[in-house]
Structure 1
Amino acid sequence: MRLYRILISVFLLFNIANINAQESHDFEISKNLDIYTSLIQQLDLHYVDEIQPGTMTKTAIDAMLKHLDPYTNYYPESMIEDVRFLQTGKYGGIGSTMHIKNGNIVVGMTYPGFPFNEAGLRAGDIILKIDDEDVFGKKMREISEHLKGASGTSLKVVYKSAKDANEKTVSLKREEIVVKDVPYFTMLDDSIAYVKLVGFKQNAAKEVKLAIDSLSKTNVINSVVLDLRNNGGGLLIQAVNILDLFVDAGELIVSTKGKTKKENYSYKTRHHANYPDMKVVVLVNKNSASASEIVAGSFQDLDRGVIMGQKSFGKGLVQKVFPLSYRSQVKITVAKYYIPSGRCIQSLDYIHKDASGKAVKTPDSLMATFKTKGGRLVKDAGGIIPDLKLETKNSSDIVSSLMRNYEIFDFATKYVYSHDTIRDIKKFEINDELYSEFVNFVNADSFNFTLPIEIELDKLRSFSDKKNYDITDELDALEKKIEVSKKSIYDDNKEILKPLIKEELVSRYFFNSGRVEAMLQYDSEVREAIKLLINENRYYKILHNNN
């Protein structure tokens, strides 16, 4: 009886402690909300100039969420189309990409069949006004908010044509823009299919299936290369649905674990596989994240496909969108996910930050080892480590500078207005004559780039001046050698730049699908995937290697 009374007392004390802790937590939230409300009221009453409560609140919320992780985000009503796009791949807008150069808002790719393209705007045109408001110098977020909106709503755009530099005005209506997750698919040889997947929105799995089935109508396919490079992820359920195409029912694909019980869930395949015997190579790189890593990691853990490329990004967090007042919404990290072997591939710890406030990377020494279904050893290495690692070529300084300054883009804009079309993507080549045209265009554009060695040389000059070292002649001689080497830099990087120029030129006539097709001709990683799929012994040896 005495033991019983003790147990009852402990139980009551435990519950009282929990209640007190919860009450303290609730009071802390209520107190801080009251402080914030009082602060806004006092600022509104007494600050010398008029304040913008909406803008200030957005800034405060963004700063608060930044303390958590990069994926927990607040969306005011004006950004509601962004949320819809994340979930569905659809948004109300004009169907075009944009970028900023020298303060100008430049039209990137316009999607055929959508408002901008139908109204005659093309890549390289400069947006001057949207609904009578000048846009020069504005940030991309502001431009996006101007252009996006409910389908059927009107807007007026004034732009300068890249073709003839004339100002033109168009009135158009926003439409529902649908961005495909599979922009391109093709046969790599008689039996190997290629599917490029760029996202995981609500139709991703259906698009992958449609691509393979379409190719199967005229080909006997025994293998597929699923390209997830630079795919930042999306809806978790679409990753599960894609595995459902290749893996029979009942296999665990991913489980989630969060603070609340409803976030703890296991996702299994539900149907008989559509392609149970098809060999699979999944291509990944450092920008393959989230749902891409669920797909790649599950293929690896189930010994169902070979992963090739470079180590993936390492995002093992799950987000959900919740409604807030006044049609605003918030995307919150609610759980971590675990792939079939039990691994969580999250790379950064956002709760424990270093002295500078940056998230801490999990050290290699703390990597745990897991086993695949067939017994192969794999690690929770802050990303998916490929079964076959492929070296990637680092972009040279000149190439990076040309891309950042949109020189290849601008050259393509000039080219397209003197060439009606490209007849055959595969036969179209950037010959030496066309490459020289590009180099001359860049030089005429007064493009300047600085090599890292030039920066170091400037530092050395400053240091020698301070110390009164007499090395001016030596530094001048080094500077002349650098200038000589810079003159040959376009020849040195010709083989890297030619494919990039071709991709941009082709995209002007054949849009995203043309860009991917042009890229494939130079893609060494795809060639390695083909070699592996042709060599069945090597393919299955990788999958059955028990380390």
Structure 2
Amino acid sequence: MIRFSKFSLLIITLLVVSFGVIAQQDANERRFSLSKNMDVFNSVVRELDAFYVDTLNYDKTIRSGIDNMLEGLDPYTVYMPKEETDELKMMTTGEYAGIGALIGGRSGQVFISEPYEGKPAAKAGLKAGDVLVELDGLNLKGKSTSEVSALLKGQPKTIVKIKVQRPGETKVRSFDVMRERITINPVVYYGVVGNNTGYVLLNEFTNSAAEEMRAALLELKNKYHVTSVVIDLRDNGGGIIDEAVKMVGFFVPKNTEVVSTRGKLKQWDRTYRTINEPILPDMPLAILVSQNTASASEILSGSLQDLDRAVIIGVRTFGKGLVQSIRQLPYEGHLKVTTAKYYIPSGRCIQAIDYSNRTDDGTPIHVADSLTHEFKTKIGRTVRDGGGIRPDVEVKDSMKVSIAYYLMNQNIIFDFASQYALTHASIAEPEKFRITDAEYDQFKQFTKDKKFTYTLQCDKLLKNLMATAKIEGYDEVAAADFKALQAKLTPNIDKDLDTFRKDITNLINAEIVKRYYYQKGVVRYALPQDKTLLKAEELFKDMSAYNKILGK
């Protein structure tokens, strides 16, 4: 038994009291600082209201103040007034009431960029490329995409009268479209690929994601008798943590720890565990990830890596280890606020950016590889924190930012696909469809007719370098080199259309396929040539290599 002298007990008591006094002083100082600054802010607004030369728009002024205040924290802490509650609902449920179509904007016009399969817009006959002219008699010229989006939404079972201008036509078409409650299925596609491998493409983690994933996995297992599974989380930005935890539970034993959250308020700290028996406890599993795989996607992929349950394939993920909570505000507003960081089974946090420390120009700091720490998986493999999930097998995207990017960005490929769909009643199945050489020549001519031009990013950087050299007095010395380099970096559209023909053709094929077979068709077209997926299939054919990666 440990015994303390009276003097030792006195010292301990004094220390406890001292720490309590200091903590109370700190709390009092924080309360005073908050009260003082709120008084200052309110006074500034009142003085502006009384004396500013023009009439203030209070909503705009205060919103600007709130947004600028939150901008200095992290990009996930945001204020959402009552008008944006539909967006909040969409983020968490994947539901909204409208016509079921993506829209885009250019040159003061808003157009249908993609009608969803089986939704009101598609059923009514609206097509990608249709320019929206009127909604319920309201002229849409000059309206923004957000304004038109709000007009398209409304109560289910109400009709919106839409007038559109279809590409290549002079007449205006009219449609009566009945709004419905639109639910976006988080499982975009699932099916069998390669040598009896099940494939599931998950787009987001809304509150039905785990249920949809479970249904897809059970069908692949029981109906198609797959012997391995691939879950595609590339470009999945995440969502609800609980959904990711449920999905981990499909593959690991009940009551397995998946993730824990730790924040300022210790009473909010929480450990998430699986609550059901797994449905695929032993089936070989691969997870595909990209640099845009984030948040709940990183919980799913990272925890399965820490538990040595899946091989992760692709490139390092985004690194979002921050947890947000929704807080209600007056007048039906909400604050989405970062309240904690999450830690996966090995104990590592995958947050890649330190928003609390910034450079002199305000740029947040990325965690350097040299500052990361080693952790161990369940079996003992080494993994690291501070930079997203590093894949077990790295497969990089070989497509470069070339003329193909600019053709997509300027809607040249989109417009060509719209024109193609007007003159072709049907096309082959997605896996077999390819435009012909003659049709690619038509695309080249279409590009010229559109007077397409573009500027390379390296050319912009060269011009900045030339300007800097002039300021520093080196422009004449390097003039000949600059001139020669500039000549090499000037785009040659005819040459580039041939040089990058393969990438451009793939994008054209996918865009055309989307017109007939929607998103599922695009996935079906892309899978047979997907290098990351092919790598997973290759591993499943060599189980010794698969097991070696997992340390078995």
In structure 2, what is the Cα distance between the partners aligned to 1:311 and 1:96? 32
In the alignment, which of 93, 110, 127 is matched to residue 105 of structure 1?
110
In structure 2, what is the Cα distance between the partners aligned to 1:456 and 1:35? 44
Counterpart of 2:526 in structure 1 is: 519
| Counterparts of residues 22-61 of structure 1 (less than 5 Å) | 22-61=27-66
- Superposition deviation, residue 521 in structure 1: 2.4
In structure 2, what is the Cα distance between the partners aligned to 1:380 and 1:178? 36
Would the aligned equivalents of 1:499 and 1:522 in 2 still touch at CA under 8 Å? no
- Tell which deviates more after alignment, 351-360 or 431-440: 431-440
| AA partner of residue 221 (structure 2) | S
In structure 2, what is the Cα distance between the partners aligned to 1:470 and 1:355? 33
- Tell me if 1:496 matches 2:503: yes
**Aligned partner of residue 339 in structure 2, secondary structure:** strand
- Residues 29 and 67 (structure 1), Cα distance of their counterparts in 2 relative to 1, 3 Å cut: same
- Tell me if 1:412 matches 2:402: no
In structure 2, what is the Cα distance between the partners aligned to 1:457 and 1:35? 47
In structure 2, what is the Cα distance between the partners aligned to 1:116 and 1:473? 58
In the alignment, which of 258, 262, 267 is matched to residue 257 of structure 1?
262
- Residues 144 and 485 (structure 1), Cα distance of their counterparts in 2 relative to 1, 3 Å cut: closer
- Superposition deviation, residue 74 in structure 1: 0.9
Counterpart of 2:232 in structure 1 is: 227
- Residues 328 and 544 (structure 1), Cα distance of their counterparts in 2 relative to 1, 3 Å cut: same
- Tell which deviates more after alignment, 94-103 or 73-82: 94-103
Deviations 1:231-256 (A, max 9, x none): 11111111111111111112111111
- Tell me if 1:193 matches 2:204: no
| AA partner of residue 510 (structure 2) | E
Deviations 1:44-64 (A, max 9, x none): 343333322112222211111
In structure 1, what is the Cα distance between the partners aligned to 2:343 and 2:297? 13
Matched pairs, number: 545
**Aligned partner of residue 229 in structure 2, secondary structure:** strand
- Tell which deviates more after alignment, 167-176 or 536-545: 167-176
- Superposition deviation, residue 139 in structure 1: 4.7
- Residues 130 and 372 (structure 1), Cα distance of their counterparts in 2 relative to 1, 3 Å cut: same
In structure 2, what is the Cα distance between the partners aligned to 1:170 and 1:57? 41
- Residues 161 and 486 (structure 1), Cα distance of their counterparts in 2 relative to 1, 3 Å cut: closer
**Aligned partner of residue 212 in structure 1, secondary structure:** helix
- Superposition deviation, residue 449 in structure 1: 1.4
**Aligned partner of residue 221 in structure 1, secondary structure:** coil
- Superposition deviation, residue 117 in structure 1: 3.0
Counterpart of 2:494 in structure 1 is: 487
- Tell which deviates more after alignment, 153-162 or 356-365: 153-162
| Counterparts of residues 2-41 of structure 1 (less than 5 Å) | 7-41=12-46
Counterpart of 1:508 in structure 2 is: 515
Deviations 1:300-343 (A, max 9, x none): 11111101110111111111111111111111111111111111
Deviations 1:461-497 (A, max 9, x none): 8779998959999988877766695422111111111
| AA partner of residue 503 (structure 1) | A
Aligned-residue CA RMSD (Å): 2.9
**Aligned partner of residue 307 in structure 1, secondary structure:** strand
- Superposition deviation, residue 14 in structure 1: 3.5
Counterpart of 2:3 in structure 1 is: none
In structure 2, what is the Cα distance between the partners aligned to 1:457 and 1:522? 36
Counterpart of 2:279 in structure 1 is: 274
- Tell me if 1:362 matches 2:367: yes
- Superposition deviation, residue 157 in structure 1: 4.5
In the alignment, which of 173, 181, 186 is matched to residue 176 of structure 1?
181
In structure 2, what is the Cα distance between the partners aligned to 1:179 and 1:308? 27
- Residues 4 and 78 (structure 1), Cα distance of their counterparts in 2 relative to 1, 3 Å cut: same
Counterpart of 1:388 in structure 2 is: 393
In structure 1, what is the Cα distance between the partners aligned to 2:11 and 2:462? 78
In structure 1, what is the Cα distance between the partners aligned to 2:166 and 2:71? 40
Counterpart of 1:207 in structure 2 is: 212
**Aligned partner of residue 250 in structure 1, secondary structure:** coil
In structure 2, what is the Cα distance between the partners aligned to 1:312 and 1:484? 33
- Residues 121 and 31 (structure 1), Cα distance of their counterparts in 2 relative to 1, 3 Å cut: farther
Would the aligned equivalents of 2:94 and 2:206 in 1 still touch at CA under 8 Å? yes
- Tell me if 1:540 matches 2:547: yes
| AA partner of residue 543 (structure 2) | E
**Aligned partner of residue 488 in structure 1, secondary structure:** helix
**Aligned partner of residue 406 in structure 2, secondary structure:** helix
- Tell which deviates more after alignment, 215-224 or 10-19: 10-19
In structure 2, what is the Cα distance between the partners aligned to 1:461 and 1:270? 62
Deviations 1:354-393 (A, max 9, x none): 1111111111111111111111111114111111111221
Would the aligned equivalents of 1:464 and 1:470 in 2 still touch at CA under 8 Å? no
- Residues 168 and 27 (structure 1), Cα distance of their counterparts in 2 relative to 1, 3 Å cut: farther
In structure 2, what is the Cα distance between the partners aligned to 1:537 and 1:291? 30
Deviations 1:265-290 (A, max 9, x none): 11111221101111001110101011
- Superposition deviation, residue 17 in structure 1: 3.5
- Tell me if 1:531 matches 2:521: no
**Aligned partner of residue 233 in structure 1, secondary structure:** coil
In structure 2, what is the Cα distance between the partners aligned to 1:227 and 1:244? 17
Would the aligned equivalents of 1:81 and 1:92 in 2 still touch at CA under 8 Å? no
In structure 1, what is the Cα distance between the partners aligned to 2:346 and 2:122? 47
| Counterparts of residues 429-444 of structure 1 (less than 5 Å) | 429-444=434-449
Counterpart of 1:292 in structure 2 is: 297
- Superposition deviation, residue 141 in structure 1: 4.1
**Aligned partner of residue 318 in structure 1, secondary structure:** strand
In the alignment, which of 316, 321, 330 is matched to residue 311 of structure 1?
316
- Tell which deviates more after alignment, 97-106 or 2-11: 2-11
In structure 1, what is the Cα distance between the partners aligned to 2:458 and 2:27? 59
Unpaired runs of 5+ residues, structure 1, are none
- Tell me if 1:122 matches 2:113: no
In structure 2, what is the Cα distance between the partners aligned to 1:58 and 1:424? 50
In the alignment, which of 426, 431, 453 is matched to residue 426 of structure 1?
431
**Aligned partner of residue 111 in structure 2, secondary structure:** strand
Would the aligned equivalents of 2:402 and 2:500 in 1 still touch at CA under 8 Å? no
Provide TM-score, normalisation by structure 2.
Answer: 0.91
Would the aligned equivalents of 1:308 and 1:529 in 2 still touch at CA under 8 Å? yes
- Tell which deviates more after alignment, 327-336 or 122-131: 122-131
Deviations 1:134-178 (A, max 9, x none): 555555444444444554566554443335243455565543211
In the alignment, which of 253, 256, 278 is matched to residue 248 of structure 1?
253
- Tell which deviates more after alignment, 469-478 or 244-253: 469-478
In structure 1, what is the Cα distance between the partners aligned to 2:286 and 2:525? 21
- Tell which deviates more after alignment, 469-478 or 239-248: 469-478
- Tell which deviates more after alignment, 78-87 or 119-128: 119-128
Aligned-pair identity in percent equals 35
| AA partner of residue 122 (structure 1) | K
Unpaired runs of 5+ residues, structure 2, are 1-5
- Residues 534 and 352 (structure 1), Cα distance of their counterparts in 2 relative to 1, 3 Å cut: same
**Aligned partner of residue 391 in structure 1, secondary structure:** coil
- Residues 154 and 46 (structure 1), Cα distance of their counterparts in 2 relative to 1, 3 Å cut: farther
In structure 1, what is the Cα distance between the partners aligned to 2:491 and 2:270? 62
- Residues 461 and 190 (structure 1), Cα distance of their counterparts in 2 relative to 1, 3 Å cut: closer
- Superposition deviation, residue 43 in structure 1: 2.8
In structure 2, what is the Cα distance between the partners aligned to 1:5 and 1:470? 78
